[in-house]
């Protein structure tokens, strides 16, 4: 009933995809799914436009079966921040015997109780394919700076357009000939041929920031096509590392 993690800070990372839409309360939550056989807890969050997934290894767990519960995302983030310096974190999952509808997080100095949310998040497995047509590796710091500069003209719902080319250049653009236009260049390593794709700049930066908290210095982009979700992962990360699925914005014209 009380899994113990040595990586408590990782629980905060999927919050980058938590929804602010109060019309669908479940999307304001982070799903915690315990896998009894693997000894892991997988945290997921989505706002329909992106999906963040992070797996944590657990030990000293006395749950008898798999279990999934939905925690309020912002409150879980606050609890994770409070326990950021803790080496381990004891967690009682809502819905397990004796826990009722409450999560309890406890370290040596803090105890936090959270009420679970009703409902469940949509399944995410189909968004994370195992085969891709294109892959690209980009250093996070210069990419983030370029997105921020170009996004200055990406007013309203205007996306940032990214053109990955096999000559090792990533071109970022926003705006049109009828308004201010910005172009920036970043070095990249690409396989699979040239690709044009566009993203909401704020959502892209959120993903890059989340990967930075995992100590990633470069991001791996995995693409199936320019109209399918792109998968962002920290370069060199393992299977438990943060995965960030980001829906592209369809280009017109």
What is the domain-level CATH number for residue 70?
A: 3.10.150.10
60 with 145, same domain: the answer is no
Q: Is residue 120 part of a domain?
A: yes
Q: How far is CA 23 from CA 31, 102, 109, 119, in A?
A: 18, 23, 36, 13
Q: pLDDT value at position 182?
A: 66
Domain C-terminal end among 91, 126, 161 = 126
- The 10s digit of each residue's pLDDT in 179-206 is 556 677 888 999 999 999 999 999 999 9
98 with 115, same domain: the answer is yes
Q: Is residue 251 part of a domain?
A: no
178 with 107, same domain: the answer is no
Quick check: 6 pLDDT over 70?
no
Q: Which has the higher per-residue pLDDT, 239 or 233?
A: 233
Q: pLDDT value at position 60?
A: 64
Q: Is residue 253 part of a domain?
A: no
60 with 12, same domain: the answer is yes
Quick check: 27 pLDDT over 60?
yes
Q: What is the mean pLDDT of residues 147-157?
A: 83
Q: What is the mean pLDDT of residues 32-57?
A: 92
116 with 147, same domain: the answer is no
Q: What percent of the chain has pLDDT over 70?
A: 90
4-8, 85-89, 105-109, 248-252: which has the minimum mean pLDDT? Answer: 4-8
Q: Where are the alpha helices (DSSP H) in 65-139?
A: 73-82
Q: Is residue 17 part of a domain?
A: yes
What's this model's pTM, rounded to 2 decimal places? Answer: 0.89
104 with 149, same domain: the answer is no
Q: pLDDT value at position 39?
A: 86
99 with 149, same domain: the answer is no
Domain C-terminal end among 94, 110, 126 = 126
Q: What's the CA gap between 73 and 21, in Å, rounded?
A: 12
Length of the chain: 253
Q: How far is CA 226 from CA 53, 125, 134, 150, 248, in A?
A: 21, 19, 10, 20, 7
Overall domain count for the chain: 2
Q: pLDDT value at position 1?
A: 39
Residue 207 makes CB contacts below 8 A (sequence gap 6+) with 16, 50, 52, 219, 232, 244, 246
173 with 158, same domain: the answer is yes
108 with 150, same domain: the answer is no
Residue 75 makes CB contacts below 8 A (sequence gap 6+) with 112, 114
79 with 161, same domain: the answer is no
Give the domain range for residue 178: 128-246
Q: pLDDT value at position 218?
A: 96
Domain C-terminal end among 97, 126, 155 = 126
Q: How many CB atoms lie within 10 A of CB 89?
A: 25
Q: How far is CA 195 from CA 86, 166, 200, in A?
A: 43, 9, 17
Sorting pLDDT into bands at 50, 70 and 90, what band is 135?
A: very high
Q: pLDDT value at position 166?
A: 92
Q: Which has the higher per-residue pLDDT, 67 or 177?
A: 67
Quick check: 65 pLDDT over 70?
yes
- The 10s digit of each residue's pLDDT in 202-223 is 999 999 999 998 889 999 999 9
Q: Is residue 252 part of a domain?
A: no
Q: pLDDT value at position 4?
A: 44
Sorting pLDDT into bands at 50, 70 and 90, what band is 2?
A: very low
Average pLDDT of the chain is 87
103 with 135, same domain: the answer is no
- The 10s digit of each residue's pLDDT in 72-128 is 999 998 888 887 777 777 888 888 877 788 998 888 888 899 999 999 999 888 889
215 with 110, same domain: the answer is no
- State the Cα torsion 232-237-241-243 to the nearest 10°: 10
Give Cα 79 distance to the centre of its chain.
18
Q: How far is CA 228 from CA 50, 53, 140, 196, 198, in A?
A: 12, 17, 22, 12, 11
């Amino acid at each position: 009933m009380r899994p113990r993690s040595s990586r408590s800070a990782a629980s905060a990372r999927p919050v980058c995809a938590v929804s602010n839409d109060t019309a669908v309360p479940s999307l304001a939550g982070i799903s915690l799914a315990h896998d009894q056989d693997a000894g892991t807890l997988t945290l997921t969050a989505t706002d329909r436009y992106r999906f963040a997934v992070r797996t944590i290894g657990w030990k000293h767990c006395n749950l008898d079966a798999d279990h999934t519960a939905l925690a309020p995302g912002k409150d879980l983030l606050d609890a994770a921040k409070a326990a950021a310096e803790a080496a381990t974190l004891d967690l009682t999952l809502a819905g397990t015997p004796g826990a009722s509808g409450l999560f309890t997080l406890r370290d040596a100095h803090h105890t936090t109780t959270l009420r679970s949310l009703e409902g469940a998040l949509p399944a995410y497995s189909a968004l994370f394919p195992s085969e891709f047509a294109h892959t690209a590796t980009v250093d996070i710091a210069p990419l983030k700076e370029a997105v921020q500069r170009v996004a200055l003209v990406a007013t309203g719902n205007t996306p940032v357009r990214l053109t990955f080319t096999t000559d090792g250049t990533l071109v970022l653009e926003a705006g049109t000939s009828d308004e201010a236009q910005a172009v920036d260049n970043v070095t990249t390593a690409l396989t699979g041929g040239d690709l044009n794709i566009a993203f909401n700049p704020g959502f892209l930066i959120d993903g890059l920031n989340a990967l930075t908290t995992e100590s990633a210095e470069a991001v791996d982009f995995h693409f199936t096509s320019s109209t399918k979700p792109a998968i962002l992962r920290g370069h060199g990360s393992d299977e438990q590392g943060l995965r960030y699925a980001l829906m592209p914005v369809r280009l017109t014209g």
